[in-house]
Structure 1
Amino acid sequence: MYIKGLLREIYLEPRVVVSAAIEKALETLRERSGLPLEIEHTPGGSECLTWLIPPRWLVEEAYISDGQHKIVDHEHHPLYVPPYSEPFEGWVSREELDRHLFSEPERPAFIPFMVDWELEFRERDWGFSLPDTLRVTLDQDRYYVCIRTRVEEYGDLTTGVCRLPGRSKREILLVTNTCHPGQINDAISGVGVALEVMRRLRDRPDLRWSYRLLLVPEYLGSAAHLDRHMDQVDHFECAMMLKILGNDAPFSLQHSSRGTHRIDRIFAHVLRHGYGAYREEGFREITGNDELFFESQGIDVPCVSLSRCRKITMQDRFFGLFEEYHSSGDEPDRLHEEKLQEAVDLVMAVIEVFEGDVVPIARFKGPINLYRHDLWLDFDKTQGAGERLNRVMALIDGGKSAFDLAEETGMYFNDCLLFLKELSRIGYVEFKEP
């Protein structure tokens, strides 16, 4: 699936956390992906866990005019009007207008995303975001402002859910965000990656694990889903948060709070053996997203985060996790299809470990003569390979899995599993599921 093309269809929709645009985007994603995506509705005003779902907010029309031409128009980009802006119409002085304008001199060509207005929807005023290059050209005495917005107190928050059942009732969750209007890498690049992973899993016969994809507005969507399905939380094995995956930067792995769960170890293992340089940090040391809900009191589902976020310093605090972060600069032309597909391949490699891992049971005594069976060094050409194979055989105890053996010996999981399958083929090993 061409991920970038799919995301381009929805990125300019005004996808604030509770909006008709998110439901429209979910319907588009369901149609284009061909996945059995269910859309769940949570009414505005509902209390989910300890969080209140805000009302639905709509922009009917919004612009700034000099009396002859529209200088700023919400139709051209959804970031021009901060989320939950109050309505306002009338002529204002340049001085009064300036008090309601938001721009970033540090990134003068971009429209900033006023994310705080979305999170603190009860503290509202009217306003516009715009590029600083445009703001400094506003030199008339008066301007006409039109902001026609309305709040629907009982509009629904919408989330997308796709389930793929396996032999086990234990579920691995893929979580990603559908909000952040007029931006594509943050956050919907994760949506595209997760959909392609689920498409590949759908076409795979006989899944061992069950999988659940959650396409949710940040924070509130996870709160709503967990509150609705609290009786199913005990089936959740672990979760992965996918976000900011289409930019040209190395992968960043943010561990779960415990840091030692199997999903932590498998992600680190796959990155270490197949993806060169990458960044690895502890829980919420790279970015803060919905892992906060999955690792919370009474839920306790280990959740790692995969992204391509850079390390932030005070010098580049305005640019955030990547250069165009939270701005109109986060556009399709800056998204790399090959990076999105690389993220899909990485997640699939992690899932292959979950799906393919086995516990070997020895049916031999002493060291196996690998020369006799043409197995010596065939599976690992690096220095010390032979000793690693000997070590794998010595560590088989009927409890350690192939992944455990790979980790203890420094082998890549695929190589270790292939070696064990060869031992099974010649009758020296039997397998059971972990």
Structure 2
Amino acid sequence: MSVSEYQFLDKIFDDLFPICRSISGPGLEASIAYISQFMPLTVTKVTSGTKVFDWTVPPEWHFKRARLWGPDGNLICDSDNCNLHIVNYSEPVDTEITLEQLQPHLHSIPHLVDAIPYVTSYYHRTWGFCLSHQQREQLSAGTYRVKIESHFDENGGVPFAQTLLSGESEREILLSSYLCHPSLANNELSGPLVLIGLYHRMLRWPRRRFSYRFLLNPETIGSLCFLSQHHQHLQQHLEAGLILTCLGGPSANLRYKASKRGDSLFDRYIGQLADKDDWRMEPFTPLYGSDERQYCSPGFNLPMGQVAKTVYGVFPQYHNSLDDKAFMDMDSVIDSINQLEQLLLSAEISGKALNLKPYGEPQLGKRGLYPNINTPTNRRTSSDQLLDGRQELNAILTILSASDGNTYMLDIAKRLNLPLASLRQVIEKLEQHQLIRFNTGETL
């Protein structure tokens, strides 16, 4: 981690955190526009009222401010102080009501007395305020003033934003995160921060075997809007993908939720890492999670998994005001970037390779890959190499023998009883000498 990278992401967090985002509207669009300073995003907006599979794109929510005054005239809730105070997608209200009438519109968390909950009502018109349970318990009988300044635009829409880092192949890795929550840290901004960090890391890679698509969208409806326009392209070109969520909490290891298919590059590779306790891995389930539920639905069944660190639903700060910068440590975000970059680098060499000189063993000596004088003194390479001379030669011969276009390099590494990362230099040498080529879906 560099100091400049930390400061870069830290400032992005500070600038994005106060914005009141939702699944549509000015807050979301301002956030996408801000992030486009750091990634060249192309924005598509699907118009309100559009049928998207079994869903209808909702009207665009324009929210200005929400305030609640008590019987004594004192201000109890003000969204200018905390945008979690408003039930997201609340309809406009300007009225006076009793405490008894107000209570059904109030939300708090009894077991977290100081936390302000995050509550939404996207597809059912209502209104409400969120406040700490301690504050709610102190409300007294009387007449309350409610003022919610909002409106709905039937001609608005739901946006999604994407960019593509082209590689040597048209086969794609999709990296996606959601952007739709207001001031939440781990459960909102950690995913986009990791996405931005990975984009800048990968810009510096000397080569990319795959192409990488980066996607930001509001959760659920945004991914459905994206799929409605791009599912055929994904069916043809998607190698594997990851939904990035909750990547800034205090947990040490990343948790991977497999795709429903269970056969993607990430499913295979992380399955082996999990055997060595480097990752946690869970099977696919539609009961909890994020946009992987849409990608893995039966009509698409795409090879999309999900990766998280401090996982949604299991930390007390989930969906409330305690999920702030103090909980989401920036060092943890950068650690997630580091781990995911290594995962992607390994995924680049974990697929199926084809031996381009398959008739007998190619002459390795003339390529400097086999000792022309075979003595005990030349069987070990310099000490800075990952593999000694005999290991490297064994790896070369085994890779060439097994590279039939149908065998994963990951399985070849397992056969050699070596970590896949330790084979990177050998694989690159074989590619440089045009002895193997990865089968990334095109005609070889």
TM beyond 0.5:
yes
Q: Distance in 1 between matches of 2:23 and 2:431?
A: 52
Residue number among 46, 64, 73 corresponding to 1:68 in the alignment: 73
The count of residues paired between Structure 1 and Structure 2 equals 413
Residue number among 54, 57, 63 corresponding to 2:61 in the alignment: 57
Superposition map of 1:8-19 within 5 A: 8-19=14-25
2:423 aligned with 1:416: yes
Corresponding residue for residue 328 of structure 1: 321
Q: Does the residue aligned with 1:208 lie in a helix, a strand or coil? A: coil
Give the 3 Å change call, closer, same or farther, for CA 201–422 of structure 1 in structure 2: closer
Give the 3 Å change call, closer, same or farther, for CA 342–359 of structure 1 in structure 2: farther
Corresponding residue for residue 316 of structure 1: none
Once the two structures are TM-superposed, the CA of residue 392 in structure 1 deviates from its matched residue by 7.6
2:15 aligned with 1:24: no
Q: Does the residue aligned with 1:229 lie in a helix, a strand or coil? A: helix
Q: Is the 8 A contact 1:91 1:142 kept in 2?
A: yes
Q: Does the residue aligned with 1:215 lie in a helix, a strand or coil? A: strand
Q: Is the 8 A contact 2:250 2:310 kept in 1?
A: no
Give the 3 Å change call, closer, same or farther, for CA 157–218 of structure 1 in structure 2: same
Once the two structures are TM-superposed, the CA of residue 62 in structure 1 deviates from its matched residue by 1.3
Q: What TM-score comes out, normalization by structure 2 length?
A: 0.84
What letter corresponds to residue 16 of structure 1 in structure 2?
Answer: S
Once the two structures are TM-superposed, the CA of residue 41 in structure 1 deviates from its matched residue by 1.0
Q: Distance in 1 between matches of 2:115 and 2:89?
A: 20
Q: Distance in 2 between matches of 1:389 and 1:178?
A: 48
Corresponding residue for residue 367 of structure 2: none
Corresponding residue for residue 339 of structure 2: 346
Residue number among 112, 116, 131 corresponding to 1:111 in the alignment: 116
Corresponding residue for residue 355 of structure 1: 348
Residue number among 244, 247, 254 corresponding to 1:245 in the alignment: 247
Give the 3 Å change call, closer, same or farther, for CA 272–197 of structure 1 in structure 2: farther
Q: Distance in 2 between matches of 1:8 and 1:152?
A: 29
Q: Does the residue aligned with 1:186 lie in a helix, a strand or coil? A: helix
What letter corresponds to residue 138 of structure 2 in structure 1?
Answer: T
What letter corresponds to residue 334 of structure 1 in structure 2?
Answer: F
Q: Distance in 2 between matches of 1:370 and 1:195?
A: 51
What letter corresponds to residue 261 of structure 1 in structure 2?
Answer: S
Q: Distance in 1 between matches of 2:346 and 2:289?
A: 27
Q: Is the 8 A contact 1:56 1:157 kept in 2?
A: yes
Q: Distance in 2 between matches of 1:283 and 1:244?
A: 17
Give the 3 Å change call, closer, same or farther, for CA 89–302 of structure 1 in structure 2: same
Provide Cα deviations, 1:114-158, integer angstroms capped at 9, x if missing partner.
14x23xx22x32211111011111124222121222111121211
Q: Distance in 1 between matches of 2:190 and 2:161?
A: 15
Once the two structures are TM-superposed, the CA of residue 73 in structure 1 deviates from its matched residue by 0.3
Q: Distance in 2 between matches of 1:39 and 1:111?
A: 32
Q: Distance in 2 between matches of 1:278 and 1:194?
A: 19
Q: Is the 8 A contact 2:296 2:304 kept in 1?
A: yes
Give the 3 Å change call, closer, same or farther, for CA 388–418 of structure 1 in structure 2: closer
Corresponding residue for residue 285 of structure 2: 284
2:214 aligned with 1:213: yes
Provide Cα deviations, 1:346-400, integer angstroms capped at 9, x if missing partner.
22112212334555665379x9979453338966799xx9899858845733324
**Post-superposition, which runs of at least 4 consecutive aligned residues in structure 1 deviate over 6 A?**
367-370, 376-382, 385-389, 422-425
Of 407-416 and 322-331, deviating more is: 407-416
Corresponding residue for residue 105 of structure 2: 100
2:32 aligned with 1:48: no
Give the 3 Å change call, closer, same or farther, for CA 272–375 of structure 1 in structure 2: farther
Give the 3 Å change call, closer, same or farther, for CA 138–386 of structure 1 in structure 2: farther
Q: Is the 8 A contact 1:402 1:417 kept in 2?
A: no
The gaps in structure 2 that reach 5 residues or longer are: 365-369, 440-444
Give the 3 Å change call, closer, same or farther, for CA 207–68 of structure 1 in structure 2: same
Q: Does the residue aligned with 1:147 lie in a helix, a strand or coil? A: strand
Q: Distance in 2 between matches of 1:4 and 1:270?
A: 30
Superposition map of 1:128-139 within 5 A: 128-139=129-140
Superposition map of 1:163-174 within 5 A: 163-174=164-175
Give the 3 Å change call, closer, same or farther, for CA 99–144 of structure 1 in structure 2: same
Q: Distance in 2 between matches of 1:159 and 1:370?
A: 61
